[in-house]
Amino acid sequence: MNNIINDIRDKARQLLAEGKVDVVIGYEKGSLPLKATPFFAHSPAEVDSLIWDETCENNLATYVAKTPGKKAIVAKGCDSRALAVLLQENQLVRDDLYIIGVSCTGVIDQRKIVAEVGEILEAGINDGKISVKGMAGDKEYLFAELKDATCQTCRYPNPVLEDVHLGETIAVSQEAPAFADVIALEEQSAGERQDYFKEQMSKCIRCYACRNACPLCYCQECFVDCNSPRWLTGGVNRAENLFFQAGRVLHLAGRCVDCGACTRACPQGVDIRALNRKMTKDVYTMYNHEAGISEDGKPALNEYTTNDPEQFLVKE
């Protein structure tokens, strides 16, 4: 890991020193244990703060269009997929963007730790083991035990789009996605699913952290903020919360890259991803489409091909 951090710093230093970019967007160590925080290096003197490890959980693609000038971005697989969709949708200028690709073995799900040992006082990562000193006890974990749910089903740990690759690449299974989590939900009765989403939606406080963390929620005016017509009130209740969450998922149909940034951003622990994953599975099944796996191509709903499975259409 140390080598790759040095490589990232060297590359960032070079890009800034040569004036190829105005800013390098990466991660630095956060203020809390096991937390990284997005970092914007504007000069070669700042690059030594850059880090890369299993705590780098944010999707940095969300910052790219909003950051002026030429920029480099440290991109893991899901960040690069989001960049690919943004490029497909003409939201970015490719020439203004330099992608420093890094392969990702997954990020840590802090909630699992806090649920077991309480608030984290100190923690260290060493050789794939995470030792934690918590307010309610100490524990040593294997990284695999703490891997975020999103990363457990990740099929693109290597960047799909990059200008340079740093560090090793990760071997990837070529099998079709299994969607076991979605199937488990589909197999429940309608009543069970309704109960599950009622519970989840009752937790939402409409802080819009999910929307703002999402690299692909970039509408100039989100439908929830629109007051003419007013689609939603500010009412925080299950029905309106579901309307917001379901509306957001539908807007992301064929575009969601399943990075899990929304779920990790949620302060209330709402299982937002359950809705996104169902949509991802449906898009895969109906259109044989995975979002953002190359710079070419278009989002599923922007394209018609006769090869689409599209079982819902009348046969010609």
- Which is nearer to another protein, 42 or 198 (by Cβ)? 42
Work out how close the CB of 51 gets to another protein at its nearest, in angstroms, rounded to a whole number: 13
- Which is nearer to another protein, 155 or 193 (by Cβ)? 193
- Which is nearer to another protein, 62 or 80 (by Cβ)? 62
Residue 130 to residue 233: CA distance in whole angstroms: 44
Work out how close the CB of 177 gets to another protein at its nearest, in angstroms, rounded to a whole number: 26
- Which is nearer to another protein, 232 or 293 (by Cβ)? 232
What's the distance, CA 303 to chain centroid? Answer: 24
Helix, strand or coil, per DSSP, at residue 144? helix
Work out how close the CB of 254 gets to another protein at its nearest, in angstroms, rounded to a whole number: 24
- Which is nearer to another protein, 209 or 300 (by Cβ)? 209
Helix, strand or coil, per DSSP, at residue 41? strand
Work out how close the CB of 63 gets to another protein at its nearest, in angstroms, rounded to a whole number: 7
- The residues of the shown chain that bind another protein, judged by CB under 8 A, are 30-33, 35-40, 42, 58, 62-63, 67, 118-121, 135, 203, 205-209, 211-213, 221-222, 225, 227, 233-236, 261, 264-265, 267-269
Helix, strand or coil, per DSSP, at residue 28? strand
185: tokens are 């939900």
φ/ψ (deg, to 5) at 11:
-65, -45
- Which is nearer to another protein, 37 or 288 (by Cβ)? 37
Work out how close the CB of 194 gets to another protein at its nearest, in angstroms, rounded to a whole number: 18
Query: How far apart are the two ends of the chain, measured CA to CA in Å?
Result: 55
Cβ–Cβ contacts within 10 Å for residue 177, how many? Answer: 16
Q: For 207-226, give one letter per residue: b (16+ CB within 10 A) or e.
A: ebbbbebbbbbeeeebebee
Work out how close the CB of 119 gets to another protein at its nearest, in angstroms, rounded to a whole number: 5
As beta bridge partners, residue 214 has: none
What's the distance, CA 191 to chain centroid? Answer: 30
Work out how close the CB of 26 gets to another protein at its nearest, in angstroms, rounded to a whole number: 11
- Which is nearer to another protein, 23 or 160 (by Cβ)? 23
Residue with structure tokens 């807007």? 251
Q: For 50-72, give one letter per residue: b (16+ CB within 10 A) or e.
A: bbbbbbbbbbbbbbbbeeeebbb
188: tokens are 């429940």
